Amino acid sequence: MNDASGPDRSMLGRAFGVLNCFSVDRPRQTQSDLSRRTGLPLPTVHRLCAQLVEQGALVRGADGRYEIGVRLWELGALAPRAHGLRQVAMPYLEDLYEATHENVQLVVREGTEALYIERISARGAVAVVGRAGGRLPLHASSGGLVLLAHGGPDLLDAVLAAGLERFTPSTITTEHRLRQVLDEIRRTGFVVCREHLNLGTLAVAAPILRRTGAVVASISVVVGVAEDPAPLVPALRAAALGISRGLA
């Protein structure tokens, strides 16, 4: 962005710098935390926090710590590529959940990572990494691999350049193997990942397409590694096709 409006720009940049300090692991922070993490002086953080509270983007708790405000959640819920997609997908995810009683997930790509938009988990289902609003690597998650398979060569280059981190002995960590798997996903329309991200789980994923053929999201089901994935595939693909049709 070649925008020369220095002071304005850095003002908004600083405000988002404060907001970006919040994460799944750090949902509540003091002004000192925010000052340390942004590198901004305490008086600046103090002023930014007051303004963000005024806009409803932050809320100050009784203990003086700040948290993301409901108003920001409400604004975020207007994102068509997150909440809008979720609204269309939800009935299908619920059907899939009722049919399998396992972990059912809806995933989109944000930059070079997979972002979980929704997850429905049975209380008895296997424990999985990833929560709604959390991120996972594209190359090591089933939903991420589907997005990577349809993300074009520039995305693949960026993912390869960042390096293929190993999470388990079965994580895909070579370019050769990754290209093989991505080709297979494009050919078959689904992927089965056995212990790629954590030991003990197996995940199956399929793409969600717009009418244009562009892949906008993926859905996955995560089960115990001892289970047979074959019966899951038709249900998962049917749900993915249903959501794709719903988006058209």
Closest CB 78 distance from a second copy, rounded Å = 4
36 or 81: CB nearest a second copy: 81
Task: Give contact residues for a second copy (rule: CB under 8 A).
Answer: 1, 3, 5, 7-9, 11-13, 15-16, 19-20, 22-24, 27-28, 47-48, 50-57, 59, 67-84, 87, 90-91, 94, 97-98, 108, 110, 115, 117, 120-121, 123, 131-133
Q: Least distance in Å: CB of 173 to a second copy?
A: 27
Q: How far is the CB of 161 from a second copy (least distance, A)?
A: 21
Residue with Cβ nearer a second copy (69 or 189): 69
6 vs 169, beta carbon nearer a second copy: 6
Residue with tokens 């108003």: 71
Kindly tell me which of 137 and 229 has the beta carbon lying closer to a second copy.
137
Nearest alpha carbon to residue 114 among 37, 215, 211: 215
In the bound complex, what is the minimum distance in angstroms from residue 179's beta carbon to a second copy?
27
CA distance 120 to 84: 17
